Amino acid sequence: MYNKFPGKDITEEDIKSKIPLVANFSKEPFEIAGVVFNGKKIPVMAGPNMVESEELIIETAKSVKASGASFLRGGAFKPLSFPYRNEKYTETGLDGLKWLKSAREEAEIPVITEVMEEKHLDAVCDATDILQIGSRNMQNYPLIVESAKTGFPIMLKRHYGASLRDWLGAAEYALKEGCTKLILCERGMSIPHTHRATSRFSLDLQVVPATQEITNIPVATDPSHATFWRDWVEPMTLASIASGADSIMLEVHPDPENSAVDPLQPINFETFNSLMKKMDSVAKAVSKEVI
């Protein structure tokens, strides 16, 4: 079990002794809130980066559902790179979870939201259908373990500096604790050149087929966080589907330029509705369907 050949590349020894559950993940499709993953359909998760208000999240929930999205996304708890926040750039916490529940009920759409701390697990589970482990917590193994013990589905985002080996190692923690419904999410890597000063990350689409060579865990992408630039979201979303992505997560906001968090990256309702149609066209080319 010790590291005979430590490095970032995945070895046969890794597959046999370090990520055996990941490597042997079932090929069978599974359902989350009635939505099928790991099949021929590509579930779309859409909504604002942060749950800013009850009115906004309900309005967004109804709009993205009408456009065909399967899940509402939105963060009540929002990790930032730096500890300083202002009145607008904050998090709504437990209030945000209540608003997510209201949106789920009014729009009749399942929810995915981030859990950042073990102490909030019960409250988050009450408001969500999928627990999101964010990129900054990808190697927070105690949080992953406790999240897996809830029995809830988990989306595990890749840290922007993590190798595929690191990412799958973190996934093994969730599977070892009994998680049977796991989704991996590529959300962009930190690299020297991102082609625009405002883009902090670059979407690593090569990791989609690379991951699928090793495991049957469905792989999602998050083009919004990866590109950090609204005009690039559509082409990278379509490219994600062409690369074989199993699910898509997008940031959608009724007034993107005035979004409380990361206003450069969300798309509006009209753009999302149009993009859903384009996504389905690309999906058909790879024998899949967007839902």
Amino acid 45: pLDDT: 98
Average pLDDT, the chain: 95
Beta strand 219-221 pairing with 41-42 = unpaired
Q: pTM value?
A: 0.95
Amino acid 99: pLDDT: 98
pLDDT, tens digit, for every residue of 110-135? Answer: 999 999 999 999 999 999 999 999 99
Mean pLDDT computed over 10-31 = 96
Question: d(Cα 216, Cα 163) in Å, to the nearest integer?
Answer: 18
DSSP 8-state class, residue 140? -
**Residue 106 and residue 137 in contact, taking contact as beta carbons nearer than 8 Å:** no
Question: d(Cα 174, Cα 177) in Å, to the nearest integer?
Answer: 5
Alpha helix locations (H) across the chain?
A: 12-13, 20-23, 54-66, 93-107, 121-127, 141-149, 164-176, 207-212, 223-227, 230-243, 269-285
pLDDT grade, residue 3 (50/70/90)?
low
DSSP 8-state class, residue 159? P
Return left, alpha or beta for 167; rule: phi > 0 is left, psi -120 to 50 is alpha, else beta: alpha
Share of the chain above pLDDT 90, in %: 88
Question: What superfamily would CATH give domain 42-79+109-290?
Answer: Aldolase class I (3.20.20.70)
**Residue 68 and residue 289 in contact, taking contact as beta carbons nearer than 8 Å:** no
Q: Which two tokens stand for residue 60?
A: 């967004």
CB under 8 A, 24+ apart: contacts of 84-87: none
Mean pLDDT computed over 205-222 = 98
Question: d(Cα 68, Cα 274) in Å, to the nearest integer?
Answer: 11
pLDDT grade, residue 200 (50/70/90)?
confident
Q: Specify which residues 98 forms β-bridges with.
A: none
pLDDT, tens digit, for every residue of 255-277? Answer: 999 999 889 999 999 999 999 99
Q: Return the domain boundaries, the chain.
A: 42-79+109-290
pLDDT, tens digit, for every residue of 65-96? Answer: 999 999 999 999 988 778 887 777 678 999 99
Question: d(Cα 72, Cα 19) in Å, to the nearest integer?
Answer: 31
pLDDT grade, residue 171 (50/70/90)?
very high
pLDDT, tens digit, for every residue of 274-286? Answer: 999 999 999 999 9
